[in-house]
Structure 1
Amino acid sequence: MTSIMTNASAMTALQSLQSINSSLDETQSRISTGYRVAEAQDNAAYWSIATTMRSDNQAMSAVVDSLGIGAATVDAAYTGLNAAKDVLSEIKAKLTTATSDGVDKGKVQEEITALQNQLKTISDSASFSGQNWLSNTEATTNKQIVSSISRDAAGSLGVGAIDVDIDSYRLYSADAGILDKTIDIAQFDGVLGSATVETSAISFANANDKISFTVSQNGDAARTVEITQATLASAGLSDTTIRSNADLKAVYEQALSDAGIDGVEVSIDATDSLTFTSLESFKVTNAATTGTSAITVASMGLVATDTTASATGTFSTSVEDIDLNTLTLGQESAQIQAYIKVVDEALSQVTTAAASIGAVQNRIDLQQEFVSKLMDTVSEGVGSLVDADMTEESTRLKALQTQQQLGVQALSIANNSSQSLLSLFR
């Protein structure tokens, strides 16, 4: 039926054109925004997931910044420890030089003082953004570097951190740091026998006269110590006769030096008691005498039985308190050896601290790389949910534009069809 009241063809064409225009608007929106799901109305579930993950990605960006700050702080501490290690090695070398006879210990101390001041400067300067782990007196030594965020199945957000305890890294900390805390060095004494040279001189009159004994330190292989005419001559006794405890002390020191034994001090007290002192455990064994002259082990203050040194005390000081100008007369060598052991212990602790910080550096680097990759992965995941496929959308746009043109033509034809009815009434 043909009606002038209702144009069904035009209505159908109009509905089709409206549908095409709606699809065209949607496609153009996707192309202009780049999103397939730009608003919640597009796909509520995907939009919610994407919004949450974008927020988490922004938080992860803050994590990357935090890791960067943490890395810079750790790098500053590592640089300081590495520099301190080198300075401690120099101090150790200066102290070793001071053990030599004839060295001006006052001049050596001036150099050591300069190095001690340099250690303090290094420690105070090793900071980043107000954080200094080397010169630190804070009661709380645990530091946290924000390293991650995570969301559990219930949707709760958690923040992860790398915990770093800086207590073992601190060089100065009100007498609790590596360089300002007191380090105790054990002292071992081996009390032998009583010498008789003060009442009866001992003469190495014959070339084959010899006193020998062995000394082992820290459980190492024993070294043989020999006293002969040559030993006395090297000790300054040209007539091969020991007449006093001072002579005997000089002879023992020479014999120990000839045997390559370091760090053993010789002392003879007012009661003629012979004592060997060292900062390392030691044992004196196999004392014996050979030769033509009537020289006895006992007259030299030695004993036939084995003597194991016992710990009798400690030498305590810190690296910052080392001072060659305060050495006790007669104990200079032992005290310098103690200083060397103190520096060596501090050097060991600094090396351990640097190695520990190196492990923290490595962990931060790995976490930075991981978080960066994770952000990329999250972005890709969100993109797969909400991003528009531009190839597909461009193809759809072309098709819809063609359909729109055809729809306009169809509507125009449908609208014009009613005009043909007029010809029936002419």
Structure 2
Amino acid sequence: MSSLMTNTAAMTALQTLKATNDSLESTQNRISTGYRVADAKDNAAYWSIATTMRSDNGAMSAVKDSLGIGEATVDTAYTGLNSAKDVLNQIKDKLTTATQDGVDRTKVQDEITQLQQQLKSIASSASFSGQNWLSVNSDATGYDANKTMVANFARDNAGAVSLGSMTVDTSKIALYDSGTSSKAILNGGASGITSALGLTAGAATVSSTGTQATIALGSFGSSAKTVDQNDSLSFDLTLNGTTKTVTIDQATVNAALGETDGKIANATAFNTVLNHALESAGFDSTKVTAATGGIHTVGGATGDTLSIGNVAFSNDSVDTINISGPNITATKIKLFIKTVDDAISKVTAGASTLGAIQNRLSMQTTFVSNLMDTIDKGVGTLVDADMTQESTKLKALQTQQQLGVQALSIANSSTQTLLSLFK
């Protein structure tokens, strides 16, 4: 039936053309934005996932930047340690030369002094972004030897986020510490071994009471004492005319107490160390022993004598080496060489540790970069438009649009055809 009031063909053509235009607009948006899911209305679930993952990727980008700062800081410290090692080798060479007779040790000391200053310059210059791991002040407020670097960002199944980190113990690599209890490689070691004994160079106290002779020692005190690697104390102990040299160093402390760091916790532990040193020197524990208050003869006859002399101590560090004094012997220089060699070992160990950290940071940076690419790829799979498919669809829809316009034109002209029936 033909009707002037209702043009069904035109209505159908109009609806078809409108649907085609909507599809064409959607396709054009995908082509212009590059996204299949550009807004939540396109696909709420995919849009939500993509938005969250993009946010996480932004956080990972910040982690990658932090890793870069961490790498630069570690590289700076490593470069400083490596340079310090070379300078220490030069000091060791100079000291070795100074052990020879006829060498002007004052001139050699001049060279060593310059090298010591160079070590300080290296340590103070090894700073990146305000962080210096080689020259520190352990007395500073808020000082913490453990330095933390952000290593990763993670989100669990419940949506909770967390940051992973890497920690570097800089107390093992610090070259200088201006704190009062420095344990740094080049100016550490100045602990209280002499105060632990209550002796000073040349000190001797002798008392005889009946069948017991006693060398009085000073009070150990209430705090623990640490005998560092470079600390040593020796004295000559004479019992009834027989003299033996007693030596206490970190090895003595560790052997006596089963420690590894030379720590003497209290006066009782110190007596154990002193007795071990006496026995190591060759004294019979049934003849002489260390107990509260001093060193005593045991079970001797009235008139036994006990004396101490030639008290010598060393808590040398590389920073305090000086061979220009009048009493410096080849033996003392050899002790200096040992001090330098110990420092070289510590610097080498520290550099090795930093090298391992450098490798881990590099691997972590590569991993984070790859992970970011993977996340980008996953997000792209969810929301990116397939441009090949969209371009093909665009051509088809443009053709459909043209046909729809023609169909609507034809439908609209059908009423004009009805007019010819009334002529």
Say whether the fold is shared (TM-score over 0.5).
Answer: yes
- Whether the 8 Å CA contact 1:34–1:390 is kept in 2: the answer is yes
> Helix, strand or coil for the counterpart of 1:396?
helix
Task: Give TM-score scaled by structure 1 length.
Answer: 0.70
> What are the residue-to-residue correspondences of 1:145-156 with 2, within 5 Å?
145-156=149-160
SS in structure 1 of the partner of residue 176 of structure 2: coil
Describe how 1:24-423 pairs up with structure 2 within 5 A.
24-138=24-138, 139-174=143-178, 175-182=182-189, 315-326=314-325, 328=327, 332-423=329-420
- The structural deviation recorded for 1:328 is 2.7
SS of residue matched to 2:314: strand
Runs of 4 or more above 4 Å deviation: 271-281, 307-314
Query: What displacement does 1:279 show?
Result: 11
Cα-to-partner distance string for 1:385-412 (whole Å, 9 max, x where unaligned): 0000000000000000000001111000
Amino acid at match of 1:52: T
Q: Deviations over 1:128-167 (max 9, x none)?
A: 1111000011431111111111001111111111111111
Which blocks of at least 5 consecutive residues in structure 1 are unaligned?
187-266, 282-306
Question: For residues 327 and 50 of structure 1, do their structure 2 counterparts lie closer, same or farther at Cα, with a shift above 3 Å needed?
Answer: farther
The structure-2 alpha-carbon separation of the partners of 1:338 and 1:90, relative to structure 1 and needing over 3 Å to count, comes to same
Does the 8 Å contact 1:171/1:178 carry over to 2?
yes
Equivalent residue for 1:241? none
Residues 327, 335 of structure 1: 8 Å contact kept: no
Relative to structure 1, is the Cα distance of residues 310 and 31 closer, same or farther in structure 2, using a 3 angstrom cutoff?
Answer: farther
The 3-state SS of whatever aligns with 2:134 is coil
Q: Deviations over 1:181-236 (max 9, x none)?
A: 1279x9xxxxxxxxxxxxxxxxxxxxxxxxxxxxxxxxxxxxxxxxxxxxxxxxxx
Three-state SS of the structure 1 residue aligned to 2:6 is coil
Q: CA deviation at 1:171?
A: 0.4
Distance apart, 1:316 and its partner CA: 2.0
Q: Which has the larger radius of gyration?
A: 1
Aligned to 1:304: none
Residue pair 1:279, 1:338 contacting (<8 A) in 2 also: no
Q: Cα offset for 1:70?
A: 0.9
Q: Name the SS of the counterpart of 1:143 in structure 2.
A: strand
Counterpart Cα distance in 1 of 2:241 and 2:399? 120
Output the CA distance in 1 between the equivalents of 2:248 and 2:160. 60
The AA in structure 2 aligned to 1:326 is G
Q: Is the 8 A contact 1:183 1:342 kept in 2?
A: no
Equivalents in 2 of 1:61, 1:310: separation in Å? 67
Residues 325-372 of structure 1 deviation map (CA, whole Å, 9 limit, x = unaligned): 23636xx12211111111111110000000000011111100110111
Instruction: Give the gaps of 5 or more residues in structure 2.
Output: 194-235, 252-278, 284-310
Equivalences, count: 316
- SS in structure 2 of the partner of residue 325 of structure 1: coil
What one-letter code is carried by the residue in structure 1 that aligns with 2:47?
Answer: W
Identity of aligned residues (%): 58
CA distance in 1, matches of 2:358, 2:282: 44
| SS of residue matched to 2:135 | coil
Cα distance in 1 for residues equivalent to 2:190 and 2:353: 21
Cα separation, 2, equivalents of 1:358 and 1:368: 15
8 Å Cα contact 2:150-2:165 kept in structure 1: yes
